[in-house]
Amino acid sequence: MSSAVSERLLVQEVAPRDGLQIEPVWVPTGDKVALIDALSAAGFTRIEAGAFVSPKAIPALRDGDEVFRRIRRKAGVIYAALIPNLKGAQRALAAGADELNMVMSASQTHNLANMRMTCEASLDGFAGVVAHTAQTAQTVQTGVTLNGTVATAFGCPFEGKIDEDRVLSIVEHYLRLDIGAITLADTTGMANPRQVARLVRRVLAMLPASALTLHFHNTRGLGLVNVMAAFEAGARRFDASLGGLGGCPFAPGASGNICTEDLVNLCDEIGIETGIDLPALMALTRGLPALLGHDVPGQVAKAGRNCDLHPAPPSMPDAG
């Protein structure tokens, strides 16, 4: 089971952003803050804590500024914010985000639906974000990092397969803009493990594993299959969402990010270190239905860990 070389996998928790953004109920700011603080206490070193987008587009996250101000900053934890444009970046920097995550889709059709602009307009806008962040860093802030996400990198629900060269050219464009870390997102759960292995290998020829995040959805039950394929191909950073919360509001049929505790359970079982306290995580997930008013898809919080045993039936003869 244990291998000679210690293996680690970095999990970035995205439930406070990607999980909550499509919830129809309003999660009070205090509950969001408590969730994020509980996540940092459970061992996460990267948490996507909010988004700075139009409150009309995503009303569930309209309190991002207050959330970032109120969370208890734990040393060593990076609190990231999703931003669509310069205005979002300005708000995120003012709120004290440690990392700005810019998002655009590889699919033109999906970017128009999701961002209301062309891919080219998204990239032009990101150049402005980079310039503004550099300027701000010189004056009041230090150490803010930038991440560029390629959404629908493995397929678009409207266009279908996305040409891999197109994905690579967007990655290149991000890197040329001095956006040094990249996320490949399977926004609507269309990736398969062989495609994932191939694309991960190609992108890892362009940047180190420490700068590449994979974001999978479990729409068709392939989320953890794709994680294992990406891991075997060299990827070491993965987004995941507590309880499997989340999805994409503009992607028909999409139903949930990969579930953090299901991923951590897998890692624990095969000896890959995550640094995350799985029982603490399962307890958090068991509180989600009361917070959100519905069941969540994650399985380990319901079934228990692989290693959680049960008493033998009492009526049974002794096994000897």
Residues annotated as catalytic are 248
| Residue 306 binds to a second copy (criterion: CB under 8 A) | yes
Nearer to a second copy, 35 or 222 (CB): 222
Q: Which of 59, 72, 109, 169 binds a second copy (CB under 8 A)?
A: 109
Residues in CB range of 140: below 8 A, 6 or more apart: none
Nearer to a second copy, 134 or 312 (CB): 312
CA distances from 232 to 36, 168, 196, 198, 229 (A): 30, 20, 10, 11, 5
Q: Could you say which residues in the range 233-272 bind a second copy, by CB under 8 A?
A: 250, 252-255, 259, 262, 265-266, 269-271
Write down the least CB distance from residue 239 to a second copy, Å: 16
Which of 127, 206, 123 minimizes the C-alpha distance to 164? 206
Query: Using CA atoms, how far apart are residues 303 and 136, in angstroms rounded to an integer?
Result: 48
Nearer to a second copy, 88 or 157 (CB): 157
SS3 84: coil
Query: Using CA atoms, how far apart are residues 16 and 21, in angstroms rounded to an integer?
Result: 8
Q: Could you say which residues in the range 42-61 bind a second copy, by CB under 8 A?
A: none
Query: Using CA atoms, how far apart are residues 320 and 303, in angstroms rounded to an integer?
Result: 27
Nearer to a second copy, 178 or 308 (CB): 308
Q: Could you say which residues in the range 176-235 bind a second copy, by CB under 8 A?
A: 189-195, 218-225, 228-229
CA distances from 208 to 205, 212, 267 (A): 8, 7, 22
Q: Could you say which residues in the range 149-178 bind a second copy, by CB under 8 A?
A: 155, 157-160
- How many amino acids of this chain bind a second copy (CB under 8 A)? 59
| Residue 299 binds to a second copy (criterion: CB under 8 A) | yes
Query: Using CA atoms, how far apart are residues 279 and 265, in angstroms rounded to an integer?
Result: 10
Torsional sign, CA 31, 35, 40, 44: negative
Write down the least CB distance from residue 268 to a second copy, Å: 9
| Residue 1 binds to a second copy (criterion: CB under 8 A) | yes
Tell me how many degrees the CA angle 26-20-67 measures, rounded to the nearest 5: 75
Q: Which of 29, 45, 108, 145 binds a second copy (CB under 8 A)?
A: 108
| Residue 305 binds to a second copy (criterion: CB under 8 A) | yes
Q: Which neighbouring-strand residues pair with 313?
A: none
- Binding stretches for a second copy (CB under 8 A): 1, 108-109, 112-113, 118, 155, 157-160, 189-195, 218-225, 228-229, 250, 252-255, 259, 262, 265-266, 269-271, 298-300, 302-313, 316-317, 319-320
